[in-house]
Amino acid sequence: MFLFSMLLFFVLTCFCAWLLLFPAGREVVVQSLGLFGIRMGRRLRGGYQQGVQQAAGLGREAGGRVHRVLSFLKRRYLLLLAAMVLLTVPPLLALMLSGRSMLSGYDSDTHAINDQIAGLLQGEQLTAPAPPPPLVFTTAEVTLVRPMLDSANRNWQLLDPAFAQRLLLVFRIMKERHGYDMAILEGYRSPERQNTLAAAGPSVTNAKAFQSYHQFGLAADCAFLRDGKLVISEKDPWAMRGYQLYGVAAEAAGLTWGGRWTMMDFGHSELRVAGTVKK
């Protein structure tokens, strides 16, 4: 049914384009309809024989006009083809893309929690790990990837308790199942800092104050620790593998993972609460 509807739409669009672009086409249609009406009227008023003769004449005239139309289309087929492409391709593309976003499945504000993860969340209250030394966040390698990280807030106490418990569980899964030690790069972010980062350009963030879940303690940027050093860049195969595993664990815990976004932020995760962030 869908394919039939698309085919019907295409045929009607081509016909309308022909009428709009070619005055000769409109003239042919108008004249044909006028003649048809006249002939039919005469046929109804006249006898059967006269009607037959008129119908035959109408058929000959229509055949001649069809022949002229076909000849015209043959001469102008490139122009007509270009018009059909311009009129049909944009609507078709819009129709095909309207049912999906750049990253499907991430338009809603909440995500389902894996049943096993939900059971773990109902158990013990997890405690925040000891923070790495401050110098870990100010090395040349780290600053190159994440500038202004030295002034970021990494206090677990400023995070929303529900989000903090889910993130701590993700940290435990990454450590116990996959052998990755993780650390928060930035958790809560003040509105002033959010605007400062936004002013640095879209390569840092597109969100202004209160357009990010960071302002509500519902988001965190995280990375991995290897041999006491912070590894952030996804160009490192070991780190990239870790980000993939982190995304799976975060989504299982009901969090939204930034690695699914158009501007991929592999270390970011957030707990979306409807009505929290300004759109």
User: pLDDT digits over 107-124, tens only?
Assistant: 444 456 676 676 666 767
What's the pTM value of the predicted model, to 2 decimals? 0.60
The domain of 241 spans 107-270
In a domain, residue 257? The reply is: yes
In a domain, residue 73? The reply is: no
- Tens of pLDDT, residue by residue over 3-56, are 556 667 666 776 666 566 666 666 666 667 667 666 766 666 665 556 556 656
The token pair at 252 is: 């299982």
Q: If you average pLDDT over residues 154-179, what whole number do you get?
A: 97
In a domain, residue 16? The reply is: no
| Closest to 166 (Cα-Cα) out of 198, 135, 123 | 123
Q: What is the DSSP string of 25-38?
A: HHHHHHHHHHHHHH
Q: If you average pLDDT over residues 75-95, what whole number do you get?
A: 64
Report the pLDDT value the prediction gives residue 29, as an integer from 0 to 100. 63
In a domain, residue 89? The reply is: no
DSSP state of 113: P
Question: Do the Cβ atoms of 73 and 80 come closer than 8 Å?
Answer: yes
Question: Do the Cβ atoms of 139 and 230 come closer than 8 Å?
Answer: yes
Could you give the number of structural domains in the chain?
A: 1
Is the Cα torsion angle 9, 10, 12, 13 positive or negative in sign?
Answer: positive
- List the Cα angle 258/209/130 in 5-degree steps: 60
- Tens of pLDDT, residue by residue over 123-134, are 678 999 999 999
In a domain, residue 156? The reply is: yes
- pLDDT exceeds cutoff 70 at 174: yes
- Residue 154's Cβ-count burial label (10 Å; 0-12, 13-18, 19+) is buried
Per-residue confidence band for 100, with pLDDT thresholds at 50, 70 and 90? very low
In a domain, residue 183? The reply is: yes
CA gap 173, 159 in Å, rounded: 20
Q: Which residue did the predictor score with more confidence, 174 or 118?
A: 174
In a domain, residue 63? The reply is: no
Distances (CA, A) of 124 to 67, 121, 183, 263, 272: 84, 7, 21, 35, 23
Average pLDDT, the chain: 80
> How many CA within 13 A on the CB side of residue 49?
0
CATH of the domain at 111: 3.30.1380.10
Q: Which residue did the predictor score with more confidence, 14 or 149?
A: 149
- List the Cα angle 54/59/64 in 5-degree steps: 125
In a domain, residue 74? The reply is: no
The token pair at 178 is: 């996959």
End-to-end distance of the chain based on CA atoms, in angstroms? Answer: 37
- Tens of pLDDT, residue by residue over 1-16, are 555 566 676 667 766 6
Residue that has been written with the tokens 């409109």 in this structure: 26
